[in-house]
Amino acid sequence: MAGNIENPESIDMTSPSHASGKQLWENRGLLVPGVRAVMGQRFTPEECELAAPQLTRNVFERLGTAFHNKHVLEIGTGIGRFTPGLAERTTSLIGIDLSKNMLDRAKTAVTGRENVRLLQGNATRLPLKDNTVNGIFEFAVLVHLVSEYEFQQAISEAKRVLKPDGTMVLCGQLSQDNKTHMINPQFIHRPIAVYEQALHPLSLVNKRALESLGEKFTMLFFQ
Ligand SMILES: C[S@@+](CC[C@H](N)C(=O)[O-])C[C@H]1O[C@@H](n2cnc3c(N)ncnc32)[C@H](O)[C@@H]1O
C-alpha cells in the first residue's frame, strides 16, 4: 500500500504555503450532488457513496460514548458525512473545514440541528480560543496535511483548543512500518509513533481498526 511520489524533493515539507490543497478541496466539494461523502481524489463519487453508510456505522460503533455530554470540534467536516451523527452524540458541535463548497453541503446535512455551528477555517490556525472544547474528531484530514509544518501546526492547534480533560479521536490511514510514506502529493501515511510524539503530553488510550474501500483506517483515541 505504501508508495512513493515520483519526485519527493519537489515538495517543500516545511513551508506553510505548500498547498494544503484548498482549491483541490473546493473542486472536490462540487462533486456529484447527492452523495453522502466526498473523499480524496483516489476515490470515485460512486465509491464514496457506497462506503458512506457502513463506514459511518462502524465509526460510531467504535466511538461509543466517548463524546457523550461533550462540546466537540470536528476538524475537516467535508460535506458532513459524520457531522449529523456527531451532533447526535455530543452536547454541542463546532465543525470546521477549509472549503466553502464542502461546508455549504455540510450545512444541508445538519439542517435543523441546533447544537451545530459550522465555520470556514484552517486546522493549522483554528478560529477558537484556548481550552474551548473537550472533544475533537477528525477523519481523513491529517493524512492530507503532507507538509510536516502543517501537520505539527494542526496538532498543536488541536491541543491548544482542547480542555485538559478532553478526548481527541484521530482517524486515518497509518504507515505499517515506522517510516513516513508519501502516497501522492496530497496524501501521506505516518507511523503511529509520529502521532504519539506530536500529541504529547496526551496519551494514546485506545486504538480501533476500520476497513473501507479496501483501505485500512485506525481510530486513535488520545486523552
Ligand atoms: C478526505 S476529506 C474528509 C472529509 C470528512 N472528514 C469525511 O471523512 O467525510 C478531507 C476534508 O478536510 C478538509 N481540509 C483539508 N485541509 C484542511 C485544513 N488545513 N483545515 C481544515 N480542513 C481541511 C477538506 O476541505 C476536506 O473537506
Residue 43's pLDDT is: 77
Q: Is the minimum distance from the CB of 83 to ligand 1 under 6 angstroms?
A: no
Query: Looking at per-residue confidence, does 4 or 92 come out higher?
Result: 92
- For residue 15, pLDDT beyond 70: no
List CB contacts of 18: < 8 A, sequence separation 6 or more: 11, 12, 146, 147, 149, 150
Q: What is the pLDDT of residues 153-211, one digit of tens each?
A: 999 999 999 999 999 999 999 999 999 999 999 899 999 999 999 999 999 999 999 99
Residue 50's pLDDT is: 76
Q: Is the minimum distance from the CB of 173 to ligand 1 under 6 angstroms?
A: no
Q: Is the minimum distance from the CB of 84 to ligand 1 under 6 angstroms?
A: no
Protein residue whose Cα sits closest to atom 5 of ligand 1: 78
Can you give the residue range of the structural domain that contains 25? Answer: 5-222
Q: Is the minimum distance from the CB of 174 to ligand 1 under 6 angstroms?
A: no
- The grid cell for 105 is 453541503
List CB contacts of 29: < 8 A, sequence separation 6 or more: 38, 78, 79, 99, 100, 101, 102, 103, 104, 105
Whether the link from the prior residue into 201 is cis, omega within 30° of 0, is yes
Residue 222 pLDDT grade (very low, low, confident, very high; cuts 50, 70, 90): very high
Domain count, the chain: 1
H/E run at residue 57: helix 45-63
**Which amino acid appears at position 114 of this protein?**
E
Pocket test of ligand 1: the residue of 141, 147, 217 to mutate, having most ligand atoms within 8 Å of its CB, is 141
Cβ–Cβ < 8 Å for 183, 3:
yes
- Sequence-ordered strand ranges (E) for the chain: 71-75, 92-97, 116-120, 133-139, 162-172, 181-184, 187-189, 204-212, 215-222
Question: What mean pLDDT value characterizes the chain?
Answer: 88
Q: Is the minimum distance from the CB of 86 to ligand 1 under 6 angstroms?
A: no
Residue 40's pLDDT is: 66
H/E run at residue 55: helix 45-63
Report the CATH number that the domain containing residue 134 is assigned in CATH: 3.40.50.150
Q: What is the pLDDT of residues 37-89, one digit of tens each?
A: 777 667 787 887 777 788 999 999 999 999 999 999 999 999 999 999 999 99
- The grid cell for 3 is 508508495
Residue 3's pLDDT is: 27
Residue 199's pLDDT is: 98
Protein residue whose Cα sits closest to atom 2 of ligand 1: 39
